[in-house]
Amino acid sequence: MITKKFHYNITMSKKADQKTWFMISGLVVINLLCYYFFEPKIIGHNIKYVLYFLGLPLAAGILFLAYIFRSYLLKEYKECRLLSDKILVPCFFLLMGLFFSYLTFGLAGDLTWVYLNKKAAEKNQTQTITCNVNKFTDNGYKRGGAKIFFTFQNRSENFTINNSMYKEYKDVIAKNYQLKITGRKGIWNYFIVDSYELEEIDK
């Protein structure tokens, strides 16, 4: 009887682990699809984004998970005997909560951010801005993702460029070129990019 119960508990634990990893894998895939195929290029910087659309959703997600699993978390913590366990176990659960929160609440915050930017951009006219090019990098080229770095609002931004474009410009002096970026203003002076082209600065 005890053997059957023990075997049943192991089987249920394995099934729960499989469901958890399946759910996490699904969330990772959804996040990647949204990032690569549905989110527009947005450049700019504002601390409000970090606070309201990144920090707040992550904190809300961690608090939500802590409330839902509070009994389990308390049980696991009470079973800790060593001081090191009492420190490491909460840190481990916090990291797991942060990761899961990023995949769920973080995604919701990011999609909300994109939606609000698009709605704001619809009210603004299309314009073209010019940004100085800082460098072309081959760090990602070997992995299929070369980048072009440029300055926007006194901060460094970058676009991923294709291999053929990198090969064409890898040996040029980057500061002799500029980017002409076409798009529309979103919220908080962020800029939604529709297209861009590289051109040499007239000497």
Average pLDDT taken over every residue of the chain: 83
Task: Give this prediction's pTM.
Answer: 0.73
195 secondary structure, DSSP code: E
- Quick: pLDDT tens for 10-35: 444 455 557 777 777 888 888 888 87
Handedness of CA 151, 153, 159, 164 (dihedral sign): negative
Q: What is the structure's pLDDT at 140?
A: 52
- Quick: pLDDT tens for 127-181: 999 999 998 887 654 454 788 899 998 899 988 888 788 888 888 888 889 999 9
| Rounded CA separation 30/106 (Å) | 12
SS3 of 23-73: the string is HHHHHHHHHHHHHHHHCCEEECCCHHHHHHHHHHHHHHHHHHHHHHCHHHH
Q: What is the structure's pLDDT at 2?
A: 43
Mean pLDDT of 62-84: 84
Q: Which amino acid is at 86?
A: K
- Quick: pLDDT tens for 85-112: 788 888 888 898 899 899 999 999 999 9
Mean pLDDT of 59-71: 89
201 secondary structure, DSSP code: P
**Domain locations in the chain as residue ranges:** 20-122, 127-200
Fold of 127-200: OB fold (Dihydrolipoamide Acetyltransferase, E2P) (2.40.50)
| pLDDT confidence tier of residue 3, bands split at 50, 70 and 90 | very low
